[in-house]
């Protein structure tokens, strides 16, 4: 074959080979492109199935594994998402955002905050990244850092109200109440219905109304509660509305608000307020009738027991009043232990006891797997600790009995 023919052949065959390789790669990655199509259309399950199909042939492909982790995050399967990222690491900006979200959702606050900080260093400002960072820093007790990040979020177009809301929440925690009120007010000025935030709109109005009432600003509390109720009715908003009305000298309307708070289900604070009002008016029988709405509760707290003690005393039922006093005292003791546990969580978030206490509160809400995962993280620190073992066994049995708090009450001073 002559040189010219050879060069001509090479000149023709090389582009053909390149095209052939491109076509092969295109077909190989077809499941991943199909997965992206399903993802954009909102069918996350179908998208995951497409990625799984690709991973059968290429099980260690980082692109496919990263996409699967992102899809798991989209689906709220955060534990599975972080399991992938813990193995391969986040490769892209989108991966890092998904990883931070998944970590925060699992209350892995330190890792989430670190990931959010790394993202900001590598890729700059991002609203979602700031959100996960603020939430994580707040739960770590690093309020000043969280406040600084919330201010950066408030500077981003379209997310000003979200940043201001977070800033207001944090300032309220620091008892910088005037700053908090101004931030809430500005957030609702920019976003009057509190739409498209990280919490439901009604929760924003509940939080603001609660802050205002605690500051003794009853008329403003009433105004904010009414604005919130125009968006969504909640027992808490009706209750706060009732408290504000009572302070404004409108007891009849307050009672109507508390009745509205119980429209869907018993709401303990409002029932107690109504009972107290009837007692103040000298009618313990009506007070008792109100409290009977709570007779089918699985658990009661010291507020209920104390109110029943007062009603029994007003009715002249001395023995029954003593019984309720004993119950109220025992419940206050339990609540004092839980309060001390919460104080440890807030003041010493890195303390291993804080992790154990968070597991306890998760288990009270029947988030059993989450509670078990938390305990396993610090297991090596409690190999011979009875209180830890009591909680661990209760979580395995999925039943939190009185023995758990009793065990913690003996150890609470150690953790403080």
Of residues 28 and 324, the one with the higher pLDDT is: 324
Please tell me whether residues 360 and 413 are part of one structural domain: yes
Domain that holds residue 393: 348-416
Query: In terms of Cα–Cα distance, which of 92, 93, 67, 63 is closest to 81?
Result: 67
Q: Which CATH number belongs to the domain containing residue 310 in this structure?
A: 1.25.40
Please tell me whether residues 416 and 352 are part of one structural domain: yes
d(CA 272, CA 55): 58
DSSP letter at 91 equals -
Confidence check: pLDDT of 240 > 90: yes
Domain count of the fold of the chain: 2
| CA atoms 25, 28, 31, 35: torsion sign | negative
Burial class (CB in 10 A: 0-12, 13-18, 19+), 63: middle
In a domain, 377, yes or no: yes
Please tell me whether residues 331 and 395 are part of one structural domain: no
What pLDDT is recorded for position 402?
Answer: 83
In a domain, 363, yes or no: yes
Q: Are 98 and 86 in contact (CB under 8 A)?
A: no
What pLDDT is recorded for position 26?
Answer: 44
In a domain, 210, yes or no: no
Burial class (CB in 10 A: 0-12, 13-18, 19+), 253: middle
**Boundary (domain end) residue, out of 338, 368, 395:** 338
In a domain, 104, yes or no: no
What pLDDT is recorded for position 24?
Answer: 45
Query: In terms of Cα–Cα distance, which of 230, 223, 294 is closest to 262?
Result: 294
d(CA 48, CA 96): 19
Average pLDDT, the chain: 89
Please tell me whether residues 333 and 385 are part of one structural domain: no
Please tell me whether residues 280 and 308 are part of one structural domain: yes
pLDDT digits (tens, 9 = 90+) for 203-212: 999 999 999 9
In a domain, 83, yes or no: no
**Boundary (domain end) residue, out of 315, 338, 361:** 338
In a domain, 176, yes or no: no
What pLDDT is recorded for position 4?
Answer: 56
d(CA 159, CA 165): 10
What pLDDT is recorded for position 3?
Answer: 60
What is the pLDDT confidence band of residue 352, given thresholds at 50, 70 and 90? confident
pLDDT digits (tens, 9 = 90+) for 13-26: 545 544 444 444 44
pLDDT digits (tens, 9 = 90+) for 275-308: 999 999 999 999 999 999 887 777 889 999 999 9
Residues near 24 by Cβ (< 8 Å), separated by ≥ 6? none
Q: Are 278 and 290 in contact (CB under 8 A)?
A: yes
**Average pLDDT over every residue of 316-334:** 95
What is the pLDDT confidence band of residue 346, given thresholds at 50, 70 and 90? confident
In a domain, 362, yes or no: yes
Q: Using alpha carbons only, how large is the chain's radius of gyration in Å?
A: 29
pLDDT digits (tens, 9 = 90+) for 132-183: 999 999 988 899 999 999 999 999 999 999 999 999 999 999 999 999 999 9
**Boundary (domain end) residue, out of 285, 314, 338:** 338
What is the pLDDT confidence band of residue 5, given thresholds at 50, 70 and 90? low
Rounding to the nearest 10 degrees, give the CA dihedral for residues 116, 121, 123, 129. 20
In a domain, 254, yes or no: no
């Amino acid at each position: 074959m002559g040189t010219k023919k050879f060069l001509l052949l090479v000149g023709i065959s090389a582009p053909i080979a390149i095209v052939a390789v491109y076509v092969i790669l295109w077909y190989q990655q077809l499941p991943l492109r199909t997965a992206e199509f399903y993802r954009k259309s909102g069918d996350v399950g179908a998208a995951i199935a497409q990625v799984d199909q690709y991973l059968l042939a290429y099980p260690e492909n980082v692109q496919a594994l990263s996409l699967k982790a992102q899809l798991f995050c989209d689906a709220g399967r955060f534990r599975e998402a972080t399991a992938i990222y813990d193995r391969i690491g986040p490769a892209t900006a989108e991966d890092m955002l998904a990883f931070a979200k998944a970590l925060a959702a699992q209350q892995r606050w330190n890792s989430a905050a670190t990931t959010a900080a790394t993202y900001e260093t590598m890729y700059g400002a991002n609203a979602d990244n700031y959100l996960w960072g603020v939430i994580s820093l707040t739960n770590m007790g690093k309020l000043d850092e969280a406040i600084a990040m919330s201010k950066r979020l408030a500077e981003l177009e379209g997310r000003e109200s979200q940043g201001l809301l977070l800033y207001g929440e944090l300032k309220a925690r620091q008892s910088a109440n005037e700053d908090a009120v101004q931030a809430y007010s500005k957030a609702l000025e920019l976003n009057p219905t509190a739409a498209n935030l990280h919490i439901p709109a009604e929760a924003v109005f509940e939080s603001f109304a609660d802050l205002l009432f605690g500051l003794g600003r009853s008329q403003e509390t009433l105004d904010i509660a009414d604005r919130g109720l125009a968006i969504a009715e909640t027992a808490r908003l009706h209750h706060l509305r009732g408290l504000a009305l009572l302070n404004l000298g409108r007891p009849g309307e307050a009672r109507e608000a508390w009745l509205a708070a119980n429209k869907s289900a018993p709401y303990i604070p409002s029932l107690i307020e109504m009972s107290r009002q009837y007692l103040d008016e000298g009618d313990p029988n009506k007070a008792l009738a109100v409290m009977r709405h709570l007779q089918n509760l699985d658990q009661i707290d010291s507020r209920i027991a104390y109110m029943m003690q007062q009603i029994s005393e007003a009715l002249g039922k001395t023995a029954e009043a003593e019984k309720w006093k004993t119950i109220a005292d025992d419940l206050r003791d339990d609540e004092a232990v839980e309060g001390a546990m919460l104080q440890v969580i807030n003041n010493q978030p890195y303390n291993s006891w804080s992790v154990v206490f968070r597991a306890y509160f998760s288990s009270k809400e029947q988030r059993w797997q989450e509670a078990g995962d938390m305990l396993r993280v610090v297991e090596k620190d409690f190999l011979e600790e009875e209180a830890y073992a009591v909680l661990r066994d209760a979580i395995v049995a999925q039943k939190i009995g009185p023995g758990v708090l009793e065990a913690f009450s003996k150890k609470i001073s150690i953790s403080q």
